[in-house]
Amino acid sequence: MASLPRIGLLLTGGTIDSVGTDRLDLAWYIEAGKRLGAGELLKQLPELAKIAAVEEIPFRRLPSQALVNADWLDLVRKIHAIFDRDRADGLVITHGTNTLEETAYFLNLTLKTVKPVVIVGAMRPASAVSADGYLNVINAVRVAAAPQSRGRGCLVVMNDTVFNARDVTKNATYRVQAFASRDLGPLGYADADGKVIYYHQPMKRHTTQSEFDVRGLQSLPRVDIVLSYANADGIMIEAAAKAGAKAIVSAATGAGRPTPAQDEAFDRVYREQGTIMCLCSRVGSGRVVRSPGLKRRGFVAGDNLPPWKARILLSLALSKTNNADDIQQMFDTY
Ligand code: GLU
């Protein structure tokens, strides 16, 4: 028998390894602060032995909204160290669902590997009746072990579905079908017959084709997000600039309309501090385009990235350049 693919399993926390107060604790388990011990998730999945040689590799475990840039930078270095030493053919990373898509997009832009890196979460804790995490992990291992997953960038597996990191987003607070790629659809499925089937290829540049290499970085430029809503004034924009933001993502109304007071503040902080604005939408679907006026003001447009993903790309872009046209080129590419 050919030897099984070697898959590393990195646990970063979240719901998937959380333990609630009882089997119907589907909501407060994060407050209970209890997790499966080292090796326990794997112990409950003996079926994996037929799919891959899975090795648990320790990493810090946190609720995903607690992760900061330093965790992402360490994770990138950890993943490279694993692959550089040829310890695995692919990786599965368990992650809280709240910011899962942000970590996935960050890795998609910064990892220098064609080996599959698959992020997986769960909507119900490990202790729940009908916990979804166990099958999600088996599916994620199948995806990471599948030769056809190589070179597709960082992948996300939830609810039998394979998504690409750039387009996937959390779409519901509690449903097991919480993740979707909205306008663009999933890449494929880890299906009921145990097969991994792809129907699409990511078209935006990623991983080995990306110009972003953060392995030597200890920090990233500060980028904040400011939401628009009826009556919003410029105070939050000024506060962000004062806090040292090198750029601000505008989560604007509609197809990219901050309020007039916000527009004034964006122009002011740009004039005074060179703070670039990246125009995105709070709508959750569709592109925001770079109008001649936006270009003239020295600003960029976030295409169809949600504000929190535009923030990541902008921060990486600013680690290389302050030129708005060059940054726009990156938004058109990634
Ligand atoms: N559903 C969990 C919560 O909101 C997700 C936790 C996480 O992302 O770590 O509490």
State the distance from the centre of ligand 1 to the C-alpha of 67, rounded, in angstroms.
12
CATH code linked to domain 6-209: 3.40.50.1170
Pairing of strands 161-164, 155-158: antiparallel
pLDDT tens string 17-52: 999 999 999 999 999 999 999 999 999 999 999 999
> Which residues are 251's β-sheet partners?
227, 280
Query: What's the gap in Å between 100 CA and the centre of ligand 1?
Result: 10
Q: Establish whether 12 is a catalytic residue.
A: no
Residues with CB under 6 A from ligand 1: 13-15, 30, 63-65, 96-98
Distances (CA, A) of 114 to 110, 156, 165, 171: 12, 15, 14, 28
Domain(s) of CATH 3.40.50.1170: residues in the chain: 6-209
Pocket test for ligand 1, best of 11, 15, 35 (most atoms within 8 A of CB): 15
Which atom of ligand 1 is nearest to 98's Cα? Answer: 8
Please give the pLDDT value at position 251.
Answer: 99
46 contacts 79 by C-beta, under 8 angstroms: no
| Residues in the chain, pLDDT under 70 | 1
**Burial category of 183 from C-beta neighbours within 10 Å (exposed 0-12, middle 13-18, buried 19 and up):** exposed
Cα–Cα dist 190/201, whole Å: 15
Q: Where in the chain is the domain with CATH 3.40.50.40?
A: 223-333
- Work out the number of other CB atoms within 10 angstroms of the CB of residue 254: 11
Q: What is the Å distance from ligand 1's center to 17 Cα?
A: 11
Kindly report the protein residue whose alpha carbon is nearest to atom 2 of ligand 1.
Answer: 15
**Helix/strand/coil for 300:** strand
Mutation test residue for ligand 1: of 17, 62, 65, 102, the one with most atoms within 8 Å of CB = 65
CB 214 within 8 A of CB 76: yes
Predicted structure pTM score = 0.98
| Spatial distance between the Cα atoms of 59 and 91, rounded to a whole number of angstroms | 13
pLDDT attached to residue 1: 53
Fold for 223-333, please state it: Rossmann fold (3.40.50)
